[in-house]
Amino acid sequence: MTDISEHAGQDLLAGQPLRTVERDGVHYTLLGTAHVSAASVQAVEQAIASGRFDAVAVELDPQRLQALTDPDALARLDLIEVIRNNRIALFAANLALAAYQRRLAEQLGIEPGAELKRAVLLAREHGLPVHLIDREVGLTFRRASQRLGFFGKLRLVAGLGAGLFSSEDVGEDEIEKLKQGDMLESSFGEFASESPALYETIIGERDRYMATRLREARADDQRNVLAVVGAGHLAGLARHLEDDTEAPALLREQLEAVPKKRNIPWLTLAILAVVLAGIGLGFWKGGMGMGAHMLATWALYTGGLAGIGALLAGSHPLSILTAIVVAPFKPFRLSIPTGAFSALVETRLRRPAYSDFLRLRDDAQSLKGWYRNRVTRVVLTFMLTNIGSMLGLWLTGFTVYGKLAG
């Protein structure tokens, strides 16, 4: 039997959005919170202090909990391993989220997610088990990215970039949406609501994932569980917690899977084919002179624009030289971006200091900070070198095609 009530427990949490679900002998109290509300922090404190609950679940994953409770964790990050494992784009996305949260904290006077952090700390003080039920942010980003097309990914990057470098206050409308919604959704701005694929991955899938984790964490000595989640998740979480019948372990595995696509860059391959065929035809039709000229054009455009990208990132001269030398060899390393090489050199030559990591959240809020901080400058080196290399590839393709067509 299931009881779902939007304002249950008026004696304990008057005025707070609630759902209650009874399943498999466990009574779940789902407390909807606003991630930027002092009232939500007070509601969490009252609920846990009441002594009515045997366990506390929160809308966090281990990485986000560490970010809330251990700000120095970034200082222990191995940036070289991040680059080698091709996770620098995800690292940049996390920086965007951190910068957005810091802007909110400064504007509203409360740390976003303070009620989640408080729930964990209070539960531990009371000796209550804590369940982290949200999906890892990295998994959510990767699954979302796979569901977007080329232009969708460009819009996603643009949206994150806008949030990264914006110094303006967060608008009232956006704050109201945040009070009723979700931190990740708000970080992407209007793009999340305009893109069904992104919205489903960021909100819909996570509703089901958290319901699955609650079912999976069930224990005989935990009959009354308090789940603290963003208010925007209440309806979906309650519905899945009540209705889902699939085995939770199997369902969680499905929701964590990131299908390995055959990552074949067809557009890049097509342009490369045009360029290489054009160079070959140049040697055949115009002799050594035309062929050599086309090869020089290829090297000049790809290497030159990659080097300009690294230069605009404020990279070390040897990082710029690396970009210039490596970019023309794109046909021999399709899966490794040019920016990875220049970023590795930049990290080796200007290894970020402990203080760079400590200032990371603050420096990520402004363009000046990005150039001042050695960590973010590595990210800039990676991104701008790749953009330059890509532009060089396209420009060469158009140039070679124009010469042959003419």
First to last CA, the chain: 77
Flag whether pLDDT at 305 surpasses 80.
yes
Tell me what pLDDT residue 85 has: 77
For the residues 115-133, what does the mean pLDDT come to?
94
Furthest-apart CA atoms within the chain: distance in Å: 89
Residue 27: pLDDT band with limits 50, 70, 90: very high
Tell me what pLDDT residue 275 has: 67
- At residue 323's C-alpha, the angle toward residues 319 and 328, to 5°, is 160
Structural domain spans, the chain: 10-256, 266-405
Tell me what pLDDT residue 10 has: 46
Crossing angle of the two packed helices 205-216 and 137-146, in degrees rounded to 10: 140
Interatomic CA distance for residues 244 and 234, integer angstroms: 15
Interatomic CA distance for residues 192 and 100, integer angstroms: 15
Is 120 within 8 Å of 69 (Cβ atoms)?
Answer: yes
Residue 145 tokens read as: 């990215």
Closest to 142 (Cα-Cα) out of 259, 57, 271, 54: 259
Residue 69: pLDDT band with limits 50, 70, 90: confident
Residue range 214-260, pLDDT digits in tens: 999 988 889 999 999 988 888 889 999 999 999 999 999 999 987 77
The Cβ-side half-sphere exposure at 264, using a 13 Å CA radius, reads: 4
Residue 320 tokens read as: 């710029």
Closest to 219 (Cα-Cα) out of 135, 134, 136, 128: 128
Flag whether pLDDT at 191 surpasses 70.
no
Flag whether pLDDT at 65 surpasses 60.
yes
DSSP 59: S
Interatomic CA distance for residues 362 and 367, integer angstroms: 11
Residue range 355-406, pLDDT digits in tens: 887 787 778 777 888 899 998 899 899 989 999 998 988 888 777 666 666 5
Does the pTM exceed 0.85? no
Residue range 327-345, pLDDT digits in tens: 988 766 666 889 999 999 9
Which residue has tokens 């070198």? 385
In 179-314, the DSSP E strands lie at 224-230
Tell me what pLDDT residue 358 has: 74
According to DSSP, the residues that pair with 225 across neighbouring strands are 28, 55
CA 157 to mean position of chain CA atoms: 10
Flag whether pLDDT at 7 surpasses 50.
no
Interatomic CA distance for residues 31 and 228, integer angstroms: 5
**Which of the residue ranges 75-84, 152-161, 305-314 would you say has the lowest mean pLDDT?**
152-161
Output 4 or 220, whichever has higher pLDDT: 220
What's the mean pLDDT when you consider all of the chain?
Answer: 79
For the residues 257-271, what does the mean pLDDT come to?
65
Tell me what pLDDT residue 362 has: 76
Interatomic CA distance for residues 164 and 277, integer angstroms: 41
